[in-house]
Copies of this chain bind each other. A is one copy, B any other.
Amino acid sequence: MKDFVNKYKSELVNNVLPFWERHSIDQEQGGFFTCLERDGSVFDTDKFMWLQGRQIWTMATMYDKLEAKDQWKKIAEHGARFILDNGRDVNGDWYFSLDRSGRPLVQPYNIFSDCFATMGLGALYKITGTDEYGQVALHTFNRILERQQHPKGVYSKLIPGTRDLKGFSLPMILSNLSLELEHIVGTPTVDGLIDQVIYEVMEVFYQPESGLIMESVHLDGSFSDSFDGRLVNPGHIIEAMWFMMDLADRRGDVNLMNKCITIALRALEFGWDEQYGGIFYFKDILNRPPQQLEWDQKLWWVHLEALVCMAKGYQYTGNESCKLWFEKLDAYAFEKFADPEYGEWFGYLNRLGQPLLTLKGGKWKGCFHVPRALFKVYESLQSVYKLHVAT
């Protein structure tokens, strides 16, 4: 696994970060362009709050953990200025999207924009100490906790009482977000949240019969035989498992660590396309037709999160299956997603592994999963290598 250390760092520093530095900065009107064609040319100028917050996080985190390059801090601050000036409604909740100039387009109809805004501002506060970043990050984090029982508020179309389900996305994000914001919200808050989140993910959403984690379950944790209830998103499970592994490591909880690895390997096996390779985007747990027409596509983030998960599994436990899966995923990902010609990775492949869209960024893909995963893999494998050197 030693050879991968330099490969991942080089891909990050030479092929990925420069793409965003070069093409995503809107020097005229602030914030980041994320709708970028294969070569980096801008094909749409709307500003999506998920991706603005995520790019702030990426640049600030690279500055903090990889190298204190002034350029990365400046880019993060450039993004923060734009979202602080334009991104919130009167309650301080974060819009879903703005137009190029910062005028709001889509309401704060969920709390994911808020999650990524606070994650970005929190990371930037860490490297600058600027009060405004820390204060808005804290306020937003508290609003997320207030809104978490009804994240969609008045925009929810579901009628309460007929089939009440709860979603896996929120506890999953909170598990990672609380760690990212520990320097702002404090360790006691984080520890309290972690207890709750580990229970939700590993007990409530986890279904022992299948060995998988469902996207939605009844309020009591039982299986719902409905489109939403049958849905499995393998990439989501695998991403959550590395969040959980970090928590297991924090606590020195070997049982939790082993359960994470077992579930992650099960999700990989369940999600892998034996015919064409790659991990399916969605599957129905009972093998019925899913409603998502994109179910058989191969998405960048799924494969990158799987690489992180297997690298961490190997780092934390030395598990041999994690190593083998890492090598298999690495071969697939660098062959199909990477683009040495223009930098960054393709985002959307068809089932056969050919680009379905040639974009490098869009409404949902920005400067986040690729650099974060390359960095996390690098960081994990480097720590293994250091250990080996030390012994």
A binding-site residues for B, Cβ under 8 Å: 35, 37, 43-44, 46, 95-96, 99, 103-107, 109, 154-155, 157-159, 162-163, 226-227, 288-291, 293-294, 296-297, 348, 350-351, 356-359, 362-363
Contact = CB atoms under 8 A, between A and B. Distances in A.
A158 B296 contact: no
A229 to B, nearest CB: 10
In the complex, the count of this chain's copies comes to 2
Contacts of A163: 99, 105
Contact of A291 (B106, B107, B293, B362): B362
A357 B358 CA distance: 25
Contacts of A103: 162
B293 A356 contact: yes
A46 B363 CA distance: 31
Contacts of A294: 293-294
Given A155-B155, A159-B104, A289 B99 contact: no
A319 B96 CA distance: 48
Contact of A159 (B37, B105, B363): B105
A346 to B, nearest CB: 11
Nearest to A299: B293
A37 to B, nearest CB: 7
A109 B158 CA distance: 10
Contact of A363 (B95, B227, B357): B227
A289 B357 contact: yes
Which one of A35, A159, A162, A289 has the greatest number of beta carbons of chain B within 10 Å? A289
Contact of A157 (B106, B227, B296): B106
Contact of A99 (B106, B162, B348): B162
